[in-house]
A and B are shown apart, each in its own frame.
Chain A
Amino acid sequence: MSANHALHTELPAEPEKATLEGRNKILGFWLFLGGECVLFGSLFATFIALRDKANGGPTGVELFSLPLVALATILLLTSSLTSVMSILAMHKKNVSQMVVWLVITALLGLGFLGLEIYEFTEYVHEGHSLTSSAFGSAFYTLVGFHGAHVAFGLLWLFALLATTGKKGLTVVTAPKYFVFSLYWHFVDLVWVFIFTVVYLMGKVGI
């Protein structure tokens, strides 16, 4: 079944799908993403319902800075690309290249997170917090949950990178990188809807 001691050169073309466990993990993760769609969908729905209930405090039109959001978007989008590149490198059995791409992914992700933390602290100074209004509660819960997903993804990535040296690329470890990459793409996908629904629509004032 699982070839724990397969040599590099013996790895099949798509190592993540070479074992039943690998295929199960990938399928299981896609199923989880289906559930996450509903989770974020519910948070989006809540935000849409409460988006203009600022309780006299600052509204989205006043708060949101499009350049900052654009920069954060570029960072996250690029990190999604670099994670794709890491999987392409994995399929070429080039472990060091895969690691390089993953490290860049991590740095870009950290940049995104840093920007978001800065953004949130600015908003709190301006009177927009979880407790200030229903809009605030909905904003921080939706965008915050997304940020928490980014943070958790980074922890996951660090753990993966830390073990790459010791375990290398095998039919057992390949699914882990692939599944991480799926997760990271999904996190970026959710962000596409966040910048559209929260920031762009917020700036329009609808």
Chain B
Amino acid sequence: MGHSHAPKKKGFLMDYLTTVDHKKIGILYFVAGGIFFLMGGLEALLMRIQLIVPNNTFLNGATFNEMMTMHGTTMIFLAAMPIIFALMNAIVPLQIGARDVAFPFVNSLGFWLFFFGGVLVNCGWFLGGSPDAGWTSYPPLSTSFSGFGIDFYALGLQIAGLGTLIGGINFLATIINMRAPGMTFMRMPMFTWASFVTSALILFAFPAITVGLVLLSFDRLFSANFFNVANGGNEVIYQHLFWIFGHPEVYILILPVFGIISEVISTFSKKRLFGYSSMVFATVLIGFLGFMVWAHHMFTVGMGPVANALFGIATMLIAIPTGIKIFNWLFTMWGGQIRFTTANLWAVGFIPTFVIGGMTGVMLAAPAADYQYHDTYFVVAHFHYVIVGGMVFGLFAGLYYWWPKMFGRMLNEALGKWNFWFFFIGFHLTFFPQHFLGLMGMQRRIFTFLPNQGLDFGNMISTIGAFGMTIGTIIFLINIAVTNSKPKKAPADPWDGRTLEWAIPSPPPEYNFKQTPQVRGYDALWVEKMAGNKGMTPAEPLGHIHMPSGSILPFIMSVGLFIAAFGLMYEKVSVAIIGALITLLCMLLRSLIDDPGYHVDPTEDKGVEA
């Protein structure tokens, strides 16, 4: 039959290069995303140093534009999304009682595409200039007035975006088809629900930017005329396409975090999440409405009062389901036995911070007011409050919460609290003044400003705050290092958890569940605990478990596209064709060569719980 009992032991490097295991892929996403996060943070710090005093000469305009562009592009596409995918990969299959995602090979492909796309975007640093037209890269700036770097942006994001898209498809199929028996949709944990809606957003939003980047690349590489007004083109097309993607993208960033906050707050209040059904409904509604508001990024472009009014109202409507969530989290904590672990500090710190960001969002949603706010630091303050004060705080909460499950060790709580307070205070110092800088008229994306306009003090405080965030981040890195030096002794359930992932060891064995569990209600593990059981009841007898084999093909396929991109950029057709052929050949090999996988006998594992 060709099934071996266990594959040959691979070295550490080959293991990670060929893994199709969602848990290891989650770690890969975390490490790569983490490295890009540090790069993006450095880019931000350099910008803030330039802006600490007026007329500063630390960075010139051209370099500042590159920093500004790369900071935004890196943070959103190469840091935030991968870390979200890290947590989704590590946790969602465990929360639904599955052994892996629906398409393990494609999961690996998604990671390597993201990785090589991210590397490509950053190649500009040493190959003639990074992208410098902002993270939005509007034409005609990006088609007619920018250098080589934009090609790194367009092609790199195209490749990385493909990875994200297939990741979204993977999680949708996994959640639809692979839930454990008894886990109906309305018994799924909130993080899984959030991942589900997020994946649907990814599926529908990313093709729009795929087309936008294709049109941009065609104009740049092949002299097409999509955005060339002289030949009949129209630049607003790009803006529509970018934001039809771009607005759902920010909900892609925040919805998983809403899921994390629900898990963390309910666990550390020792209380069932208040209003679960309304939380699910609100999540779906936010996802849907997220597609109806994109032109609020274009209020000042000239669409006219009818369009502006429609999009303004739709934008304000999203505040309603979001408000439902905020109240439900507060009601969950009310009357609970609250423990302020680091994870919960981040979650509780998230709530007022995100609300401030949401509030300024409603201010921005009024088109007439937006004519004043647009392209000022007021907007910069708003989105950093929701993205950093919202998403990043939530990601930290998720990391502290699920670190034991992913790595088998608990992050140090004392260091965690120092990490939190430096970052939290530094964050508010950095971005709160920026509201006022914007209201006083400081434009965004400028590399310097003149003295005696009332902008000096705010900018200086903002830069000091940035150093605070830097120290907080460094403390987090120290925490990781210190934690890593300790033995892997985390318990299966360090927090007295409520959901299925805490029913298996930390970290889980490669097959996750020795026996697929039977789910009897929402907060599946808590239901069993309240019934006096020590763990989950199995839904199937003990038996051999079939696992998919690893493969180097996803890595090679991604390298192929990476090479093809260079061929396109440097107009070497043969290189482009070779790169594409490498990828196509790997697809063919994957199709021709069947993977028999291998079997694992779970009874051979010592100390394994169901």
Contacts and interface: CB of A to CB of B under 8 A. Distances in A.
Asked if A and B form a direct contact in the complex, defined as CB atoms under 8 angstroms apart, the reply is yes
B223 interface: yes
B45 to A, nearest CB: 37
Contact of B169 (A32, A45, A136): A32
A132 B228 CA distance: 11
B224 A137 contact: yes
Interface stretch (A50-58, A74-82, A95-103, A182-190): A50-58
Contacts of B177: 20, 23-24, 27
Given A35-B206, A131-B223, A137-B225, A46 B215 contact: yes
Contacts of A39: 207-208, 210-211
A36 B173 contact: no
B591 A137 contact: no
A101 to B, nearest CB: 20
Nearest to B223: A131
Contact of B234 (A35, A49, A155, A167): A49
B176 A42 contact: no
Contacts of B214: 141
A55 B225 contact: yes
Contacts of A131: 222-225
A114 interface: no
A86 to B, nearest CB: 18
A1 B595 CA distance: 13
A181 interface: no
A31 interface: yes
B215 A24 contact: no
A130 B222 contact: yes
B279 interface: no
Given A34-B204, A36-B207, A42-B211, A54 B232 contact: yes
Interface of A is mostly: helix
Interface string B218-252: 11001111101001111001001100100000000
Interface in B192-215: 203-208, 210-212, 214-215
Contacts of B203: 31, 34-35
Contacts of A20: 177-178
Interface in B143-176: 165, 169-170, 172-173, 176
Contact of A24 (B165, B173, B592): B173
Contact of A35 (B106, B204, B228, B591): B204
A91 B321 CA distance: 47
A137 B218 contact: yes
A138 interface: yes
B218 A130 contact: yes
Interface in A142-157: 155
A42 B241 contact: yes
A134 interface: yes
B1 interface: yes
B218 A159 contact: no
A4 B226 contact: no
B520 interface: no
Given A39-B207, A39-B211, A31 B1 contact: no
A123 to B, nearest CB: 15
Contact of B173 (A1, A31, A35, A159): A31
A20 to B, nearest CB: 7
A18 to B, nearest CB: 14
A28 B225 contact: no
Interface residues of A, number: 40
Given A27-B173, A27-B176, A141 B224 contact: yes
B232 A42 contact: no
Interface string B175-188: 01110000000000
B102 interface: yes
B598 interface: no
B546 interface: yes
B169 A134 contact: no
A110 interface: no
B231 A55 contact: yes
Contacts of A204: none
A42 B596 contact: no
A114 to B, nearest CB: 22
Contacts of A23: 177
A146 to B, nearest CB: 13
Nearest to A155: B584
Interface in B522-569: 546
Given A24-B103, A32-B169, A35-B165, A42 B222 contact: no
A38 B204 contact: yes
Contacts of B222: 130-131
A167 B228 CA distance: 52
Most buried by B among A38, A54, A176: A38
B605 interface: no
B13 interface: no
B170 A28 contact: yes
A9 interface: no
Nearest to A27: B173
A141 B218 contact: yes
A45 B122 CA distance: 32
B207 A42 contact: yes
Nearest to B166: A32
B102 A24 contact: yes
A6 to B, nearest CB: 13
Contacts of A35: 165, 169, 203-204, 206-207
Interface string B1-31: 1100000000000000000000000000000
Contacts of B233: 50, 53, 134, 137
B300 to A, nearest CB: 20
26 contacts: A1-B546, A4-B594, A4-B596, A24-B102, A27-B176, A27-B177, A28-B169, A34-B204, A35-B165, A35-B204, A36-B207, A38-B205, A39-B208, A39-B210, A39-B211, A42-B211, A42-B241, A49-B234, A50-B234, A133-B231, A134-B232, A135-B232, A137-B224, A141-B218, A163-B592, A176-B591
Closest CB pairs A-B (n = 5)? A53-B232, A134-B232, A39-B207, A137-B224, A42-B211
Interface of B: 1-2, 102-103, 106, 165, 169-170, 172-173, 176-178, 203-208, 210-212, 214-215, 218-219, 222-226, 228, 231-234, 237, 240-241, 244, 546, 584, 588, 591-592, 594, 596
Given A28-B173, A134-B233, 5 more contacts: A4-B1, A134-B231, A134-B232, A137-B225, A141-B215
